[in-house]
A and B are shown apart, each in its own frame.
Chain A
Amino acid sequence: MTTRLFSLWRNLVHRNRLDRDLDEELRAAFDLLVDEKVRGGMPPDDARRAARLELGSLDSLKDEVREARAGAGVDTVLQDIRYCLRLFRRAPGFTAVAVVTLALGIGANAAIFGVVKSVLLDALPYADADRLMRVYPYFLDGTPGGPLLFARMVHTIAARQQSFESLAAFDSARDAVLGGEDSPRIVTIAWVEPGLFQTLGVPAALGRTFHDDDRATGHVPVSGGERGPDTARAVVLAHEAWQGLFAGDAGIVGRDVRINGIPRTVIGVLPRGFVGLRGQADFYFAFDLGPALPSGAGWLGLVGRLKPGTTHEAARREMAAIWAAREYPKEFDSLGMTATPLRDAMVGSTRTPLLVLLASAALVLLIACANLAGALLSRGLSRRKEFAVRMALGAGRRRLVRQLLTESTVLALAGGAAALLLAQWMLSLMRGLARPVLPAYAELSLDPGAVLVTAVVAVCAGLAFGVVPALSVARSDAQGALRDEARGASEGLRPRRLRGVLVAGQMALCASLLAGAGLLARSLWEMAAAPLGFDPAGVLTARVRLPTRDYPTLDVRTRFHERLAERLRLVPGVDAVAIANKAPTVEDPRRDGFSIEGAPPTDAHPYVVYASVSDDYFRTLRIPLRQGRTFDASDHAGAPATVVISENLARRHWPAGEALGARIRLGGALVTVVGVVGDVRNDLARPDAEPMTYRSHRQESTQRLCVLLRTHGDPLALVRTLPREVAALDPSLPVQQAMTLDAAVGEGLASRRIPVMLMTAFGALALLLASVGVYAMFAGMATAREREFGVRMALGSRPRAIAGLMLRQGAGWMAAGLSGGALGVVLVVRLLRGWLYGVPPFDPIALGGAVAILVGCATAALLIPVRRATRVDPMVALRAE
């Protein structure tokens, strides 16, 4: 094979050298001929003439030699290709099935690979990103999703660490108002330490990034609000915002912009494609953590660039050691501290579903290949006579095998081309669907790498499924085939067994995929079906943000809430109005430190979700009151601080029902429990509800609020009314994200639904391919034994006996496939375990359903050829002899 490839290469590349060589060879032959004749006594002139005559025209001789050479190399490949194209044209059905099967298999792979590559393999948009790490606190008891860092933790780490050459803390992106009274726009801003961009290795595309002088001292954006006067004057602009908000104005650096009513100066623009670490922001503000007030909740992220030569592991160990040696060991004792490579932190929980999807796509490709192997095998068998004749006429066995390999490669390449189109389409679909679920830096494009891998997969698949039928032909001996064909013998045991193995393999792969899809679908169903604890139907939500400058105090904010609620209550169609810091399931919940006054510290992790709500919140969302009361006018700012807690929190800490009147510490405040309400699910990815606490908006409020309207009739009819009512109170306040709570709940499930949808789609694809495969294999088997069945029937066999024969055989292989599939199911279950909620890993409904669907489809696919076999007319079969 290698020498053949080498000579092919030589022929193509060194054509000139070969020609020169040939020239020389023929000239030498001429000279030798002349010598010979001269030695024989001929005069030199005559000798030359005679030699020239004998050799004939040198040019035509050279042509013939060249043809002979080419014939042995390139030409046969072209010949093979031409021949197989002719064959494909003659069997359009087979060709279409083969190409479509391959396109689906390879296309699914290329698309998923494109996603996986862009998420897991592509470079992050930071310099030398392998040396960047996020520093995190985590719950020692394994509770997922630890809190953010407290300013104090950042100080401790920054003061002692040796692993990083630079460290920078940052806040998540938050809303702000850009512009003046007339056309306010909501934009997002993020507070960061000035060194963030240096740490990330991101230089400004225009102007500069922050210096330490740019810090807004004495001002901290704490969770849910801000403290101290906003003195930030210098802002850095993201590239997208520069293009979108300022039309790419080249003179933007130095320009003044008003954000939250305060004029600021743009000092620089970030490069295109910069990705924020906690949400995309339009503007970046620099803060100074130095005088940070101790606050009730963690709100900071921290990223560091490792010193050269320091390993991830060393940094991780150092973070743990610094944390263990902190001088406030009693606080945060449920937390540990660690560092994670930045990519892992950004990929987060998307990794598992992506790998599962990649594995599913690979299984689909395997099934597709088994299908094609089967189809080509059937074709190979039905062409045995053709091959036998060709061998009898002198075609080499190797040549025939090569012909078959060429056929499968041409098929694979055609399938690959179709697959690329399909993958392109699938990716554009994914771009729409999965955007919010994937990390922000993921490009989702079919890049050259993915295309190359697809091409390699296509060619390998072609060779793989070409080999089986090719081997079966090479093994068959021509004489035997010719004799058998003439006599009309049944097919041998070997191809029958090969078909059986392919059927069993397909069944096994398909069973694993369907089981996985079934489990995920069941788990999604459980998540969607578990009670929310509130009634989202008919509720409209929207967000409004109150700027600190105009709404600096609790009183001013509460007054605004109440005036707005009053106006909205008068709108026709509105039944109830509530104002809260957020709606359940929309956005991540805020957590705060929690402890019971007088109780010894417990092991249970002391953080609890909290919300700040208006009096009508529970009525509006129809959250039932279990005990005590909800908030009313008596919970004013000057009154004793009160809290309403969820049922599961009450049950956990006051199992005897004595929660009312208990005093708890929530963040910095000491509060008294006045009521217990029903549980509400905040995180839709979990079927169980997290414990919750509620404070009255009069006692604890935020600048960012969520307006909730319960309506009768279509809530969307009020989408225009809501901003009008807000504007009537304060025209500088923009209203954002008005949508129904139903839609918000649906969106919350999206991150779970997309992998399930994709996996179910792969399952369906696999089922389709496997059914076609099973059908094709048994149909091939039935055709090959048609004469045998004819003879059997002529000898008195009943159709039922023949059907029984085939069914027994089919059932045997299916059973073998299913038992092989059991192994696959165990693997799939192990892989998916972390993704299942409310479903046992070996859920009988999901697994039984998967098997039932598979067996049903396979049996249906089997019955068609069985019916055909029982209808064989013995006379026809025998006459064919």
Chain B
Amino acid sequence: MPGRRAALLQGTLDLLILKALSAGALHGLGVSRRIEQVTGGTFAVQPGSLFPALHRLEEAGWLTSDWQPSENNRRAKYYTLTKAGRRQLGEEAAQWNQIALAIARALEA
């Protein structure tokens, strides 16, 4: 079932997007570049996953968006983390750390 696998990836992607936006508002491409930057290029998020994810997160109430001029004076849609989004980020980060720790221990053993 493709849905199941997508859901798993989605979880990671959501976490990365929320994290990328935690420093401040970014437009879509900005989010993608930021993720590339902070993960040292490990994750290159394709627009085909990025935009649906952004809209889904907005719909869930974790992001808001508005139109702002971009760095070289074009108009772009900027996403901002909401309060609920910040909370969600905290929860997901904690969960992820737990899992990561557990996996790391399991691999060490």
Residue B29, interface by CB 8 Å: yes
Q: Which residues of B in the span 22-45 have a Cβ within 8 Å of any Cβ on A?
A: 27-29
Candidates A4, A32, A68; contact of B56 at CB < 8 Å: A68
The minimal Cβ–Cβ distance linking A524 to chain B, given in whole angstroms, is 61
Shortest Cβ distance from residue A414 to the other chain B in the assembled complex, whole angstroms: 30
Q: Which residues of A contact B77 (CB under 8 A)?
A: 21, 24-25, 28
Residue from the list A24, A54, A67 in contact with B47, Cβ < 8 A: A54
> Cα distance A661–B52 when bound, in Å?
107
CA distance A21 to B70 in the complex (A): 16
Do B55 and A69 have beta carbons less than 8 Å apart?
A: yes
Whether the pair B61, A394 counts as a contact (CB closer than 8 A) is no
Say yes or no: is A471 at the interface (Cβ < 8 Å to chain B). no
Query: How far is B47's CA from A394's CA once the two chains are assembled, in angstroms?
Result: 25
Among A11, A21, A33, A72, point to the contact of B29 (Cβ < 8 A).
A33
Shortest C-beta distance, B102 to chain A (Å), equals 15
Nearest B residue to A73 by beta-carbon distance?
Answer: B59
A68-B59 in contact (CB<8A): yes
CB-based contact B29/A36 at 8 Å: yes
Shortest CB-to-CB span from B45 to chain A, Å, is 11
User: Given A29-B47, A65-B51, A69-B55 in contact, is the A35-B61 Cβ separation under 8 Å?
Assistant: no
Determine the chain B residues whose CB is within 8 A of the CB of A22 once the complex forms. Answer: 55
Contact B59 A72 (CB under 8 A): yes
* Chain A positions within 8 Å of B47 at CB level: 29, 54-56, 61
Q: Does A845 have its Cβ within 8 Å of any Cβ on chain B?
A: no
Say yes or no: A35 contacts B72, CB within 8 Å.
yes
Q: Quick one: given A29-B28, A32-B27, are A65 and B52 in contact (CB under 8 Å)? A: yes
Is A56 a contact of B59 with CB atoms below 8 Å? no
Near B by CB (< 8 A), chain A positions 1-24 give 3-4, 7, 11, 21-22, 24
Which chain A residues border B70 with CB–CB below 8 Å?
A: 28, 32
Query: Which A-chain residue is minimally distant from B11 (CB atoms)?
Result: A394
A45-60 at interface with B (beta carbon < 8 Å): 54-56, 60
Contacting residue for B74 out of A3, A35, A56, CB 8 A: A35
Q: How many residue pairs between the two chains, A and B, have CB atoms under 8 Å in the bound complex?
A: 70
Q: Given A29-B29, A61-B48, do A7 and B59 touch, yes or no (CB 8 Å)?
A: yes
Asked whether B29 lies within 8 Å of A32 as measured between CB atoms, the reply is: yes
Contact A29 B52 (CB under 8 A): no
Is A64 on the interface with B (CB-CB < 8 A)? yes
**Chain A stretch 767-797: residues in CB contact (< 8 A) with chain B:** none
Asked if A71 lies at the interface with its beta carbon under 8 angstroms from chain B, I say yes
Q: Which of B29, B46, B75 has the most CB of A within 10 A?
A: B29
Q: Is A122 in the interface zone, CB < 8 Å from B?
A: no
How far is it, in angstroms, between the C-alpha of A65 and the C-alpha of B56 when the chains are bound? Answer: 8
Is A26 in the interface zone, CB < 8 Å from B?
yes
> Is B93 an interface position by the 8 A CB rule?
no
Chain B residues with CB under 8 A of A35: 72, 74
* B74 engages A28 (CB within 8 Å): yes
The residue from A21, A55, A69, A394 contacting B7, defined by CB atoms under 8 A apart: A394
Which of the listed residues B11, B46, B48, B60 has the most CB atoms from chain A within 10 Å of its own CB?
B48
Set of chain A residues within 8 Å of B76, measured between Cβ atoms: 25, 28-29, 32
State the Cβ distance, B33 to closest chain A Cβ, in Å: 8
Q: Does A31 contact B (CB under 8 A)?
A: yes
Chain A proximity mask over B49-73: 1 for CB below 8 Å, otherwise 0: 0011101100111000000001010
Interface flags, A375-394, vs B, CB<8A=1, else 0: 00000000000000000001
Q: Are B51 and A26 in contact (CB under 8 A)?
A: yes
Q: Is the CB of B56 within 8 A of A71?
A: yes
Smallest CB separation, A131 vs chain B (Å):
54
> Which residues of A sit under 8 angstroms from B46, Cβ to Cβ?
54, 56
Taking CB as reference atom, which chain B residue is nearest A70?
B59
Cα–Cα distance between A35 and B71 once the two chains are bound (Å): 11
Contact A3 B7 (CB under 8 A): no
Q: Is the CB of A68 within 8 A of B29?
A: no
Assembled-state Cα–Cα distance A9/B52 (Å): 19
Tell me, in angstroms, the Cα distance from A26 to B77 when the chains sit together. 9
Return the chain A residue nearest B82 by Cβ. Answer: A3
Residues in A whose Cβ lies below 8 Å from that of B29: 29, 32-33, 36
Q: Is the CB of B48 within 8 A of A68?
A: no
Distance between Cα atoms of A153 and B48 in the complex (Å): 92
Q: Are B72 and A68 in contact, with the CB atoms below 8 A?
A: no
Assembled-state Cα–Cα distance A32/B11 (Å): 27
Query: Contact between B61 and A65 (Cβ–Cβ < 8 Å)?
Result: no
- The reply to whether A68 and B55 contact each other, CB–CB distance below 8 Å, is yes
Q: Annotate B86-104 by CB proximity to A: 1 below 8 A, 0 otherwise.
A: 0000000000000000000
Instruction: Name the residue in A22, A25, A67 with the highest tally of chain B Cβ atoms < 10 Å from its Cβ.
Output: A25
Cα A67 to Cα B6 with chains together (Å): 14
Say whether B74 contacts A32, CB under 8 Å.
yes
Return A40 CB to nearest CB of chain B, in Å.
12
**CA A56 to CA B45, docked complex, whole Å:** 13
Minimum distance in angstroms from A293 CB to a CB of chain B = 85
Name the distance in Å between A17's Cβ and chain B's nearest Cβ.
13
One of B52, B53, B61, B74 near A31 (C-beta < 8 A): B74
Least CB distance from A32 to B in Å reads: 5
What residue in chain A is nearest B33 (Cβ atoms)? A36
Tell me, rounded to whole Å, the shortest Cβ–Cβ distance linking A75 to chain B: 11
Given A28-B27, A32-B27, CB of A65 within 8 Å of CB of B59: no
Q: Is A67 touching B52 in the complex (CB atoms < 8 A)?
A: yes
* Min distance, Cβ A576 to any Cβ of chain B, angstroms: 89
B56 touches A56 (CB 8 A): no
How many angstroms between the C-alpha atoms of A35 and B60 in the bound complex? 31
A754 to B77, CA, bound (A): 70
Q: Given A29-B76, A61-B47, check contact A3 B55 (CB 8 Å).
A: no
Q: Name the residue on A nearest B7 (C-beta).
A: A394
Cβ of B49 to closest chain A Cβ, rounded Å: 8
Nearest B residue to A3, CB-CB: B61
Given known pairs A36-B29, A54-B47, A61-B51, the reply for A72 and B74 (CB within 8 Å) is no
Q: How far is the CA of A26 from the CA of B51 in the complex (A)?
A: 9
Max chain A C-beta neighbours (<10 A), residue from B27, B46, B51: B51
Decide yes or no: A64 and B61 within 8 Å by CB, A28-B76, A29-B76, A72-B56 being known contacts.
no
Which A residue sits closest to B65, measured CB to CB? A25
B78 to chain A, nearest CB (A): 10
Contacts of A68 in B (CB 8 A): 52-53, 55-56, 59
B55 nearest CB across to chain A (Å): 5
- Bound-state Cα–Cα, A274 to B28, Å: 71
Cβ of B17 to closest chain A Cβ, rounded Å? 12
Min distance, Cβ A6 to any Cβ of chain B, angstroms: 10
B101: min CB distance to chain A, Å: 19
B27 CB to closest chain A CB, in angstroms? Answer: 7
Tell me, rounded to whole Å, the shortest Cβ–Cβ distance linking B5 to chain A.
13
Closest Cβ–Cβ distance, residue A174 to chain B (whole Å): 74
In angstroms, how far is the closest chain A Cβ from the Cβ of B59? 4
Residues of B with C-beta under 8 A to A36: 29
Residues in A with CB closer than 8 Å to B61 are 3-4, 7
Q: Which of A3, A24, A32, A69 has the most chain B CB atoms closer than 10 A to its own CB?
A: A32
Q: Report the minimum CB–CB distance from B13 to chain A (whole Å).
A: 11
Please measure, in the bound complex, the distance between the C-alpha atom of A55 and the C-alpha atom of B48, giving whole angstroms.
7
Tell me the bound Cα distance from A26 to B48 in angstroms.
11
Other than the given A29-B27, A61-B48, 15 more pairs (CB < 8 A) read A3-B61, A4-B61, A7-B59, A7-B61, A22-B55, A24-B77, A28-B75, A35-B72, A60-B48, A61-B47, A61-B51, A64-B48, A64-B52, A68-B56, A72-B60
**Closest 3 pairs between A and B when the two form their complex, measured CB to CB:** A72-B59, A68-B52, A68-B56
Q: List 23 A-B contacts (CB under 8 A).
A: A7-B59, A22-B55, A24-B75, A25-B76, A28-B27, A28-B74, A28-B76, A29-B76, A31-B74, A32-B27, A32-B29, A33-B29, A36-B29, A55-B48, A60-B48, A61-B51, A61-B52, A64-B48, A68-B56, A69-B59, A71-B56, A72-B59, A394-B7
B residues adjacent to A (C-beta < 8 A): 7, 11, 27-29, 46-48, 51-53, 55-56, 59-61, 70, 72, 74-77
Give A contacts to B, CB under 8 Å: 3-4, 7, 11, 21-22, 24-26, 28-29, 31-33, 35-36, 54-56, 60-61, 64-65, 67-69, 71-73, 394
